Structure 1
């Protein structure tokens, strides 16, 4: 362990330094500028998945050959390839001798398709299609293409590995190992707490969510769910819950397709190397419960590494208050800054033979 620390420290410093470049024009012309060791190449790519053409950008070190590559799956609130959440991968991985592909989620940006008619399986298959596309690139090692995802993207990364043997490894960040209904109860309660709402407000919110969830499960009727929503939607805390003002019919509701998805069985079937990380200060995901559930399968999964990053939140940040990170208006503003996260990720990629340097 002692011998590995200089490498981890050096890689962490490299990553922490990477996001600092100023305006590209200034960097190119300033008299004090110097050529970077790694020249990063950016290439637009379009690939087909099911009924949609999806668009993204491939980033890789100039002149690289037989590169390991990462496909990025999306957090629910970060559907664009330009999201700040993915910037650290774009700057970090090519410097480590790896390629990374970030695309616009179906129905977003330059990608076709319709998110409303999708489910987790379809979104995971989109990632698999991206993996398959990268395998045809002569600069990419077809045996070393994996998937990275955060939050909902962490679920999708794991699911992609269960749906295709072409996924060589998985990095799953802040993905709750509970069903979505349990996770949203946890998240919504904490969102109201950090905003200073009373327990009465929290209880009303939880009862409203439960009524909608019960209808989606088929154990309650739609009228009762809508009555609860009508009473809640006039409350100032309602936007913090991510619930719509109208209860959709369960036969066409996307939430109905998601509500009972349990990621733990997926982890049981993932045989490829997998890194699962959480933030110790995450108010969005029930980390303690997730780690406890994962502990039931890790003895049977020697390729599975689980770690909790000190001081990190849901987006692997250490500098954002719980109130700000749970503000819906800031949903696409997360940008990882936890040094330990960078170090653990870099160390794992190196240990698995994926990083060239």
Structure 2
């Protein structure tokens, strides 16, 4: 019997499934009613190999987050972006610039939807996709009501060839206290390389006068929302989603 890959395990929280509308690389989950609804844009992690199937927007975890946010009265957009590991003549490239462009285009497409309140948006980053938050920390439009980070990598990991643009630790220090609210979900059993980036980010934020709201999952692993089927995990997911809703109220 073939074991289910970790990324295809069930979401830890049971919620009524909402069928998304699919347009290009965007799956849009909508509450009942006419809107316009404030929106959370979900940015998956990586880097991932090109051609991976199913793509992240069809993983149970992101379908779960989309449905959960819709149940809270938010539009939730799950984006398939092209954060891939590419082999070139010069070696391996992690394609953060292409993914950043994908996200910027998708966010504007979501904001242009008449059912979305284009003045109230949170961008929510996961795992290795969190390096992409650097752009949103440095250059924040007035409609960005917050940045959420879940089990994030906040600096390139050892051996990762990443453009210096994608360094959230430096971005938060540069922008300082003018930043929109930051919500960070941190797991207690994180790998040491990623845990170090989170600690460095929090130190930089504190030094710049930036308040970061932390949701701790003391017994959680990276990807706790599929790996740790516990009440602690479910509470953390619910707290994060509810806090995103509050940021958008």
TM-score normalized by the length of structure 2: 0.73
Counterpart secondary structure, 2:223: coil
Q: CA deviation at 1:85?
A: 2.8
The number of residue pairs the alignment matches comes to 222
Question: Unaligned 5+ residue runs, structure 2?
Answer: 1-11, 88-92
The residue aligned with 1:65 is 35
Q: How does 1:255-270 map to 2 (within 5 A)?
A: 255-258=160-163, 262-268=167-173, 269=175
Residues 345 and 301 from structure 1, CA distance in 2 versus in 1: closer, same or farther, beyond 3 angstroms? farther
Matched, 1:340 2:235: yes
Conserved? CA contact 2:36–2:114, under 8 Å: yes
1:49-99 deviation digits (Å, cap 9, x = unpaired): xxxxxx221111122412111222121148531123312212210000001
Structure-to-structure mapping, 1:102-121, within 5 angstroms: 102-106=78-82, 119-121=95-97
- Bigger shift: residues 63-72 or 127-136: 63-72
Structure 1's 292 and 99: CA in aligned 2 closer, same or farther, altered over 3 A?
same
Q: Give the strand-richer structure, 1 or 2.
A: 2
Q: Computing the radius of gyration over CA atoms, which structure comes out larger, 1 or 2?
A: 1
Q: Of the candidates 3, 15, 25, which is equivalent to residue 18 of structure 1? A: 15
Which TM-score applies when normalising by structure 1? 0.53
Q: Does 1:291 align with 2:199?
A: yes
Structure ranking higher in helix proportion:
1
Q: 8 Å contact 1:180–1:260 — kept in the other structure?
A: no
Distance in 2 separating the partners of 1:168 and 1:104: 22
**1:155 match:** 131
Matches of residues 265-344 of structure 1 in structure 2 within 5 Å?
265-268=170-173, 269=175, 271-283=179-191, 285-287=193-195, 290-291=198-199, 293-298=201-206, 300-317=208-225, 319-320=227-228, 338-344=233-239
Segment drifting more, 340-349 vs 147-156: 340-349
1-side partners of 2:217 and 2:83: how far apart?
Answer: 33
Please give the alpha-carbon distance, in whole angstroms, between the structure 1 residues aligned to 2:246 and 2:40.
16
User: 1:130 offset after TM fit, Å?
Assistant: 1.0
* Aligned 1:80-229 pairs, distance under 5 A: 80-106=56-82, 119-163=95-139, 165=141, 167-181=144-158, 213=159
Aligned equivalents of 1:286 and 1:118: distance in 2? 17
Tell me, yes or no, if the aligned pair for 1:58 and 1:101 is still in contact at 8 Å. Answer: yes
CA contact (8 A) 1:70 1:147 kept: yes
How far the C-alpha of 1:339 sits from its partner, in A, is 2.0
CA contact (8 A) 1:72 1:103 kept: yes
Deviation at 1:304, TM superposition (A): 2.6
RMSD value, Cα: 3.4
Pairing 1:44–2:22 present? yes
SS at match of 1:130: helix
Q: CA deviation at 1:301?
A: 4.2
